[in-house]
């Protein structure tokens, strides 16, 4: 799966889902660095939102490939982001879960965490419009 | 006792913005008022989320609106006071036109003791035809609930 230029700007790389995490979409890893800093010592909320959105897109493409619909165009309709903890100076990971994959609409949930997946730094819900390419 | 805001000039703040995500995206100051702030996100190749169409990714637009609404809260509260984004919802009304810069305008329309309520839009030239709409809240840090 190739990621767009914006994912490169964030420094995002793909990891395979750890065992036990569902049928698992790939996990995205975003290193801490000058390009994603907000206030000193913390990840910028916009970078976290960008990571969550990218995780949702990756999960959705992964699910579409699983249904042999890899050519489907996906258009974001909206995103709701909850910021739960400050993201500190370390790598942030994120993974999306497609809660419903319809013919026209997909609902995706994503969480982002640092040391402990059970203590998310942020989470998002996204709705996508699906269109034949 | 209520905390005392620290005088805050958004034009000077963005002119002196240290290296970080906002500067990496190229976000700059445009204008502000007593409860609003307008910032600009330039179109750049490395912000693209849909390479086939040259459409800017949605993430930078969230970052733009996060920053515009955050500054709007400081304008409304009379200066800088620490806060954290609690949530943001962004509706993508249409794709931003390739090559066009995106203007983000944030407004703080209500402040309580511990929460600020914000809204705003992003457009690529015509404020009457926005590309995105935002609604969100900020929570004040360092004050008892």
If you average pLDDT over every residue of chain A, what do you get?
92
User: What is the reported pLDDT for A132?
Assistant: 82
Which structural domains are found in chain A, ordered by start? 5-131 (3.10.129.10)
Query: What is the interface pTM, i.e. ipTM, of the complex?
Result: 0.92
The answer to whether the pTM exceeds 0.90 is yes
- How far does Cα B117 stand from its chain's mean position? 13
**Which of A6, A8, A38 has the most B C-beta neighbours within 10 Å, making it the best mutation to test the interface with B?**
A6
Tell me the CA end-to-end span of chain B in Å, nearest whole number.
13
Are B120 and B104 a contacting pair, CB within 8 Å? Answer: yes
Predicted confidence at residue A23, as pLDDT, reads 65
Start-to-end C-alpha separation, chain A: 17
CA pair distance B10, B26, nearest whole angstrom = 15
Hey, which residues 14-53 in chain B have their CB within 8 Å of chain A?
Answer: 19-22, 24-25, 45-51
Give me the residue spans of the domains in chain B.
Answer: 10-140
How far apart CA B81 and CA B79 sit, in angstroms, is: 6
How high is the pLDDT of residue B142? 77
pLDDT in tens, A75-127: 999 999 999 999 999 999 999 999 999 999 999 999 999 999 999 999 999 99
Residue A49 to residue B48, Cβ atoms within 8 A: no
In CATH terms, the fold of domain B10-140 is Thiol Ester Dehydrase; Chain A (3.10.129)
CA A77 to CA B51: how far, in whole Å?
A: 18
Model confidence at A22, pLDDT cuts 50, 70, 90, reads low
Give residue A1's pLDDT: 79
Query: Average pLDDT of B49-60?
Result: 86
B55 at A interface, C-beta within 8 A:
no
Q: Report the 10 Å Cβ neighbour count for A2.
A: 7
């Amino acid at each position: 799966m190739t990621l767009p230029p914006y994912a490169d700007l964030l420094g995002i790389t793909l990891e395979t889902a750890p065992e036990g995490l569902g049928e698992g979409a790939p996990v995205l890893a975003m290193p801490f660095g000058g390009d994603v800093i907000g206030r000193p010592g913390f990840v910028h909320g916009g970078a976290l939102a960008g990571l969550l959105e990218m995780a949702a897109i990756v999960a959705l493409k992964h699910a579409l490939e699983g249904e042999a619909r890899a050519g489907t165009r996906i258009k974001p309709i909206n995103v709701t982001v909850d910021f739960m903890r400050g993201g500190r100076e370390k790598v942030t990971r994120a993974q999306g879960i497609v809660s419903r994959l319809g013919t026209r609409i997909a609902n995706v949930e994503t969480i982002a965490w640092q040391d402990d997946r059970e203590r998310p730094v942020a989470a998002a819900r996204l709705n996508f419009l699906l269109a034949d390419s | 006792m209520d905390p005392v805001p620290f005088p805050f000039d958004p034009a000077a703040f963005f002119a002196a913005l240290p290296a970080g995500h906002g500067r990496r995206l190229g976000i700059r100051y445009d204008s502000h008022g007593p409860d609003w702030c307008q910032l600009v996100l330039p179109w750049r190749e490395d912000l693209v989320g849909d390479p086939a169409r040259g459409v800017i990714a949605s993430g930078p637009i969230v970052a733009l609106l996060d920053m515009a609404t955050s500054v709007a809260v400081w304008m409304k509260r009379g200066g800088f006071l620490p806060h954290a984004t609690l949530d943001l919802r962004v509706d993508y009304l249409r794709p931003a036109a390739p090559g066009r810069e995106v203007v983000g305008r944030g407004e703080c329309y209500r402040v309580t003791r511990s929460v600020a309520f914000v809204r705003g839009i992003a457009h690529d030239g015509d404020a009457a035809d926005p590309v995105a709409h935002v609604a969100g809240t900020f929570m004040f840090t360092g004050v008892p609930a």
